[in-house]
Amino acid sequence: MALAPVFFSGWPSLLRIVLVGVPTYLVVLAMLHFGGKHALAKTNAYGLVVTVALGSALASAVLTREVSLSDGVLAIALLLALQYLLSTLVSRFSWVGSRLTQRPTLLVRNGRMLRNAMRKERVTDSEVLAAIRKHGIDAVEAVAAVVLETDGSFSVIRTVGLCPSALADVELKHMDGPTHGASGEDGQRR
């Protein structure tokens, strides 16, 4: 049984990786520069999908013999162009954004876990408590809000006695009881 090709398949394959990898990497950097800061923003699900797809296209271009340099560059350019088009449409037309992106969801409000919202988002107590601890807070009661963001991360806001304006765009439909902060006492948006 010959194991040599598993560990080393020859100099030509290594040379191909260098000859394709370096220009592909430089082209990706140039495209990202022209695509703007939002090109790889993982602020929502489609941004994450594009980032993963770009990594896959780059890896395929560099490591797969059947994929030429021009094929890889075209695939990466297509993904970045689609990302640019989509982010432009989302920023210019609110109806596009409302169809493609979700709103953040409030999971904890004034030290109380909002069970309906947590159930809807399939978030456990342990996940919320871990997010609170990661922010250096040792008690749920010291938390004004925990928000499940559109990218799947948690934001934690400490209780400071103010009306948190950072909650203005947070989904409040699945609240357990009256709301405060970005909404009034009656739960209505202001």
Does residue 47 fall inside a structural domain?
Answer: yes
- 66 located within any domain: yes
DSSP3 helix / strand / coil % (the chain, rounded to 5):
55, 10, 35
CB atoms within 10 A of CB 120: 15
In this prediction, what percent of the chain has a pLDDT beyond 70? 78
Q: Is residue 42 part of a domain?
A: yes
Model confidence at 22: pLDDT above 80: yes
Q: Are residues 16 and 94 in the same domain?
A: yes
Which of 55, 74, 99 corresponds to the end of one domain? 99
Q: Is the domain of 26 the same as that of 60?
A: yes
Whether 2 maps to a domain, the answer reads: no
pLDDT for residue 113: 96
Q: Give the count of domains, the chain.
A: 2
Residue 160 CA to residue 91 CA, distance in Å, equals 32
Q: What is the pLDDT of residue 167?
A: 67
Residues 21 and 84 in one domain: yes
- Note whether 72 and 136 are same-domain residues: no
Q: What is the mean pLDDT of the chain?
A: 82
Query: Is the CB of residue 54 less than 8 Å from the CB of residue 25?
Result: no
Residues 23 and 91 in one domain: yes
Looking at the fold, whether 18 and 91 belong to one and the same domain comes out as: yes
For the ranges 3-17, 22-36, 68-82, the lowest mean pLDDT is seen at: 3-17
pLDDT tens, position by position, 46-77: 777 888 898 999 999 998 989 988 999 999 99
Distance CA 71, CA 57 (A): 9
Q: Report the pLDDT value the prediction gives residue 188, as an integer from 0 to 100.
A: 37
**pLDDT tens profile 120-178:** 999 999 999 999 999 999 999 999 999 999 888 999 999 875 555 666 777 666 555 54
Boundary-marking domain end, from 73, 99, 125: 99
* Range(s) of the domain holding residue 68: 9-99
Question: What is the pLDDT averaged over residues 37-41?
Answer: 69
Q: Tokens in use for 41?
A: 């923003």
Query: Are 110 and 90 in a shared domain?
Result: no
Are 16 and 90 in a shared domain? yes
What CATH number has the domain bearing residue 132? 3.30.240.20
Within a domain: residue 180?
no
Residue 142 lies in a domain: yes
Residue listed under structure tokens 């006695």: 161
pLDDT at 8: 80
Listed in order, strand segments (DSSP E) in the chain are 105-109, 112-113, 143-148, 154-158
pLDDT higher than 60, residue 190? no
Strands (E) in 6-136, as ranges, are 105-109, 112-113
pLDDT value for 183? 39
For residue 177, being part of any structural domain is answered with no
